[in-house]
Amino acid sequence: MTEQRTGRVQSVDRAVALLHAVAGSAPLGAPVAQLADQVGLNRATAWRLLATLQDNGLVERDPDSGRYRIGPTMAHLAASVGIAGLVRRARPVLERLCVLTGETTALAMVRPAGLTYVDEVSAPAVMTPNWLGRSAPLHATSSGKAWLAWLPEVEASGLLGPKLAGFTATTVTDPTELKAELRASRARGFFTCRGEFEEALFGVSAPILVGGRPVAVISIWGLRDRLPESRFGELGAAAIAAAAEISGSYQQPKHRETA
């Protein structure tokens, strides 16, 4: 291991660059040759660094395809991101989103026990319940679905348990039906709620992804009369753009190997 004159540890810089490259290849992942070329390393060096990252759970290698993806340890690290830092990054985005849509916007953060709403911006003329500090029922809210859809299926099933509680007539309580909805919603990029937890509340959400893993969720929600299903496409696109802006603020410049 060598140190540069700046005091930076070159091997750590290279490992971090590889982590960013792996994260950027989500959800399919990438082989070592592609990752090495992307960060300017020879394959042998990249392979050794990836093997070390894999031993520590930071990346995982698919034995069939040989592709590397972000590992489970990164999910735990992402879940420990400070609330204050994330709220600071997201607040101006929430405010612009509220002005753009005229509706309440919210930020739900991934915590060990699930999702908790940690910030909210409401238009002055809109009267809606305050969800700050409340947890999201995962299968009955758009924000909960946005998180579940990006988790490994075994992990998502463990969080939901064997039975899905019914809160309203529109709550999805069939696990097979819910899985189909999550797959379809993930493909289009946003998730919806049609009065599934509280009959009068409709909404859309999009996940904030860091390294291909969800760390938080952006939501736009309000009373059914203001958010009919005919607005879901428009609001969903706005939520996707807002979540992508926050995700982008976590990206770092790619490292190139020096001679």
Residue 4 included in any domain = no
Residue 18 included in any domain = yes
Same domain, 66 and 83: no
> Which has more pLDDT, 90 or 256?
90
Q: What is the CATH number of the domain that holds 156?
A: 3.30.450.40
Residue 123 confidence (pLDDT):
78
- pLDDT over 90 (residue 258): no
CA nearest to 62, candidates 27, 22, 29:
29
Same domain, 85 and 198: yes
> Torsions phi, psi of 246, nearest 5?
-70, -40
Same domain, 111 and 18: no
Same domain, 64 and 88: no
User: Bridge partners of 220?
Assistant: 105, 204
Residue 163 included in any domain = yes
Of the three residues 29, 52, 70, the one that is the final residue of a domain is 70
Range of 15's domain?
10-70
pTM above 0.85, yes or no: no
Same domain, 94 and 151: yes
Q: What is the CATH number of the domain that holds 63?
A: 1.10.10.10
Residue 23 included in any domain = yes
Same domain, 61 and 110: no
Same domain, 101 and 227: yes
Same domain, 145 and 226: yes
Residue 259 confidence (pLDDT):
35
| Average pLDDT for 25-48 | 87
Tally of domains in the chain: 2
Of the three residues 28, 45, 70, the one that is the final residue of a domain is 70
Edge-to-edge strand order for the sheet containing 104-111?
114-121, 104-111, 213-223, 201-210, 191-194
| Average pLDDT for 117-145 | 82
Same domain, 114 and 188: yes
Of the three residues 70, 90, 113, the one that is the final residue of a domain is 70
**pLDDT tens digits, 48-106:** 999 999 998 888 888 888 989 877 676 556 555 556 778 888 999 999 999 999 999 99
> Which has more pLDDT, 254 or 228?
228
Residue 1 included in any domain = no
Residue type, 11: S
Residue 5 included in any domain = no
Same domain, 100 and 207: yes
> Which has more pLDDT, 256 or 80?
80
Same domain, 108 and 230: yes
- pLDDT over 80 (residue 131): no
